[in-house]
Amino acid sequence: MKKNKFKYSNSNKRYYTLDYFYKNKFNSKVFKVSLNAGFSCPNRDGTVGFGGCIYCSKLGSGDFAGDVLKPLEEQFEDVKNIILKKWPNSKYIGYFQANTNTYADVETLKEKYERVLKIDGVVGLNIATRPDAISDECYQYLEDLSKRTYLTVELGLQTIHEKTSKLINRCHDLECFKTCVENLRQRNINVVVHIINGLPYETKEMMLETVEYLNKLDIQGIKIHMLHILKDTPLEILYEKEKFHVLTREEYVDIVCDQIETLREDIVINRITGDPNSDDLIEPTWLIKKFGVLNEIDKELERRNTYQGYRKTILNYVHNLIDSYIKKNDIVIDATVGNGKDTLYLCDIVTNGKVFGFDIQEEAIMRTDKLLLENHKSNYELFQESHEKMDEVLENYRGKVSLVLFNLGYLPNGDKRITTNYKTTIKAIAKALKMIHDKGMILIVIYPGHEKGREESVKIKKFLNDSNYHYQEFHNTTNEIAPYLIEILK
């Protein structure tokens, strides 16, 4: 990606990887060492439920953790000795992975956590747990611990949908999870959330809704898993009975890429696929080839030319279209310069061409001119005129323009009483159609989040439909008042 390159990347990844995060925080390669401290789970022993979550293995989702029969120090050394051969100067995070690692009295927790912290090279702890298994006393201890080391608490959520949550026997509700996140963040403790794609009967839209919900919470990381059906689990029995749909690799890649595009750009993606024990795996067998899945995700994001947080603003869609269509010698028009950010973007693209900008507000023209001069641009000309006059002002360029861009609404940080008006906008669109050449394009960003904007949205689409113009809409959210894009082709 040229201009859209994700800022948290030091490789070809288009999302915020844990490796990048650790290297920037610790100036070193950092590995998580999975441990089994012998904890139980309140969803297994009857405290909140029996049998555990229906997908959970007999080892409490700690299949790759250490041998519970060995002391924690010995478990740690087993992994560390392997890593040292390839990365001799690494640092380590002790990862309490198997079962529920806050489900004990605080003295027991202290004894286990502190032992690992004393191991040479350990710079922090990751503690996997449930949101209903942290006592008030435990919160206090975790707060103290977070002041002494780099501490992360990993919370299993899996889905925000209560019907699915009951089906998989989570035995806690969404409010419990939300309260736990808030309690941890009030104590400045980092939170990583686990979600699972492909849970029985969930749709793609439901999986995206889980990510959209997490975007609103103060979390620092996410782990994305693919549901895997393991032998000797209640999920195996359900699958044999009902044969619910299991995601194909292509479906999983598509969903994950949509989730990455939706996910807030500051959330670190700790994991992006499952890692099942192949001896116990029933479905999906494609999960065994983990690196193949990772490569397909990278390829799909590259094919889309998207990245983490891409759906955050509709302007990313706009810029993607501009990048793929506009060439350096083209003539383009910014029909609403506003603060000049779009104008600057266009100037960066048409380096050997020309950008013409229009706005009725003197303040907008002044701000844009200042921004362009500060960025040493000279390939532009600004007009304090209504965009409906573009064909008169640029009479010599009729039929020569590659793009006309409208960003409707009011001037950001300006007088919100002054907005674009559907009457002049419709006239300007008609004029823009005369300005563009046979392969030209008109992009209109519409903001229906205020009264004038809603009216403008309705009137513009009626005009386009009545005139039989070919156009398509792009929405990056289900929010009806969010900005959206209309693309018109001549």
First-residue to last-residue Cα distance in the chain: 28
Q: Among 276, 190, 191, which Cα is nearest to 225's?
A: 276
- Stretch 375-393: mean pLDDT, rounded? 97
- Stretch 433-444: mean pLDDT, rounded? 95
Q: Which two tokens stand for residue 402?
A: 């590659």
What is the CA 317 to chain-centroid distance, rounded? 15
In contact, 197 and 159? CB cutoff 8 Å: no
Backbone angles phi, psi at 332, to 5 degrees: -135, 160
In contact, 445 and 408? CB cutoff 8 Å: yes
Backbone angles phi, psi at 49, to 5 degrees: -170, 175
Alpha-carbon Rg for the chain, nearest whole angstrom, is 27
Q: Which two tokens stand for residue 40?
A: 């139980």
In contact, 226 and 256? CB cutoff 8 Å: no
- Stretch 72-82: mean pLDDT, rounded? 89
pTM for the structure as a whole:
0.86
Q: What value does the mean pLDDT of the chain take?
A: 92
Residue 320 clears pLDDT 50, i.e. is over it: yes
Residue 60 clears pLDDT 60, i.e. is over it: no
Q: What span, in angstroms and rounded, lies between the C-alpha atoms of 61 and 249?
A: 22
Residue 68 clears pLDDT 70, i.e. is over it: yes
pLDDT at 276: 82
Q: What span, in angstroms and rounded, lies between the C-alpha atoms of 371 and 469?
A: 35
pLDDT at 393: 97
The burial of 472, by beta-carbon neighbours within 10 Å (0-12 exposed, 13-18 middle, 19 or more buried), is given as exposed
- Stretch 27-51: mean pLDDT, rounded? 90
Residue 2 clears pLDDT 60, i.e. is over it: no
Taking residue 389's Cβ as centre, other Cβ atoms within 10 Å add up to 16
pLDDT at 1: 38
Residue 275 clears pLDDT 90, i.e. is over it: no
Taking residue 39's Cβ as centre, other Cβ atoms within 10 Å add up to 22
Q: What span, in angstroms and rounded, lies between the C-alpha atoms of 226 and 284?
A: 9
Residue 413 clears pLDDT 80, i.e. is over it: no
What is the CA 165 to chain-centroid distance, rounded? 23
Q: What span, in angstroms and rounded, lies between the C-alpha atoms of 380 and 356?
A: 6
Residue 62 clears pLDDT 60, i.e. is over it: no
Domains annotated on the chain, with CATH: 18-311 (3.80.30.30), 314-489 (3.40.50.150)
Q: What span, in angstroms and rounded, lies between the C-alpha atoms of 92 and 119?
A: 9
DSSP assignment letter at 389: G
Among 30-39, 109-118, 365-374, 414-423, the least confident range: 414-423
Mind listing the pLDDT tens digit for each residue in 351-373?
A: 999 999 999 999 999 999 999 99
Tell me the range of 120-134, 310-324, 466-480 where mean pLDDT is highest: 120-134
More confident site: 63 or 446? 446
Q: Which two tokens stand for residue 220?
A: 């620092």
Mind listing the pLDDT tens digit for each residue in 459-489?
A: 999 999 998 888 999 998 777 888 999 999 8
Residue 64 clears pLDDT 70, i.e. is over it: no
Mind listing the pLDDT tens digit for each residue in 197-236?
A: 999 999 999 999 999 999 999 999 999 999 999 999 999 9
The pLDDT confidence band at residue 6, using thresholds 50, 70 and 90, is low
Among 439-443, 450-454, 459-463, the least confident range: 450-454
pLDDT at 4: 42
Q: Which two tokens stand for residue 368?
A: 């844009």
Taking residue 352's Cβ as centre, other Cβ atoms within 10 Å add up to 9
Buried-exposed string 105-136: b where 16+ CB fall within 10 A, e elsewhere? ebeebeebbeebbeeebbbbbbbbbbbbbbee
CA dihedral 273, 275, 278, 283 (to 10 degrees): -40
Residue 385 clears pLDDT 90, i.e. is over it: yes
Mind listing the pLDDT tens digit for each residue in 10-21?
A: 777 999 999 999
Helix ranges, 200-334 (H): 204-215, 234-242, 249-262, 290-304, 314-325
Q: What span, in angstroms and rounded, lies between the C-alpha atoms of 88 and 82?
A: 10
- Stretch 368-393: mean pLDDT, rounded? 97
Residue 57 clears pLDDT 80, i.e. is over it: no
pLDDT at 87: 82
pLDDT at 88: 82
Nearest 5°: the CA angle 405, 262, 318 is 10
Q: What span, in angstroms and rounded, lies between the C-alpha atoms of 356 and 347?
A: 10
